[in-house]
Homo-oligomer: A and B are copies of this chain.
Amino acid sequence: MQDYRIRVNNKAVDRISVLDRGLQYGDGLFETVAVCKGVPLLWHRHWQRLEQGCQRLGFSVPDQGRLQNEITIITEGVDTGVLKLVVTRGCSHRGYAPDANSACNQIVYLFPWPDWPGKWRQQGVDVRLCATRLGMNTQLAGIKHLNRMEQVLARMEWQDEVAEGLLQDQEDNIIEATSSNLFAVFDNQLYTPDLSRCGVAGVMRAEVMEHASSMKINVNIEKLSLARLQSADEVFLTNSIIGIWPVKRIDSTKYPVGVITKSIQNRLGSAYCEKAL
């Protein structure tokens, strides 16, 4: 495949009106979907989150059939790739009040599969704690909206081989990494931060929680301090593209690639798409 493919509002174009509210205010949502053997993985979960996001932000849900048709078109002949969807509230003139007559804009991108080192999945990744913090707002927490300035600033904090950066909220709770969710293992149980005030409730986070439950591994959703995280038996990161990355180091704290992490990785590998991971 060529470098990337783009379709905007069901047409093979790559430009949008500068009156689009996604551009003017970040007034929209996105999803990042792994495509493996031509199939968008965990589509039902991505669709569900997109639908919930539209409801939370108060704009009309796109037509699922039409969106799936767009995905079929853009993934044609592609085995493995990263599909990105952006849905915005549409266009309007200046001013925060939306135009009631404006239809949503829908953008579908297909990017090549990223070239992360293969060893990251087996041997684990190095992670750092970011200085950038997440603001807290229950109205926006959990959904994958387009207001991502905090993640951009956090990601700009490093240029070296560190794989991810952890973000704390304003009250020193560890919430997530810039583009992945975090799990810690204590006494053979999973712990993942509460995302009711900030953070993105990842599709892979939900998938991991479901697998863990079926494997009789307890999952606890609660506040997580840095000090507690430093004493974890194992730590791993999840998102739709990376699947699961064991964490072998957070700044100066080291972790083993442990049994629980590996068992969930294996479970996910066969259920998800080993080739993509």
Contact = CB atoms under 8 A, between A and B. Distances in A.
Interface of A: 4, 6, 8, 14-27, 30, 32, 57-58, 82, 84, 86, 88-89, 93-98, 107, 109, 111, 114, 132-137, 139-140, 145-156, 170, 178-179, 198
Copies of this chain present: 2
A182 to B, nearest CB: 16
Contacts of A154: 96
A147 B22 CA distance: 9
A14 B6 contact: no
Given A24-B86, A26-B147, A134-B137, 17 more contacts: A6-B19, A8-B18, A20-B23, A24-B146, A25-B146, A25-B148, A25-B152, A32-B94, A89-B152, A94-B109, A94-B111, A95-B155, A96-B154, A98-B156, A136-B170, A139-B150, A147-B148
A18 B154 CA distance: 23
Nearest to A56: B153
Contacts of A20: 23
Contacts of A57: 149, 152-153
A26 B30 CA distance: 12
A107 B149 contact: no
A150 B140 contact: yes
A114 B17 CA distance: 22
Given A16-B15, A135-B136, A151 B93 contact: no
A13 to B, nearest CB: 9
A146 B26 contact: yes
A164 to B, nearest CB: 11
Contacts of A111: 93-94
A220 B268 CA distance: 58
A58 B198 CA distance: 24
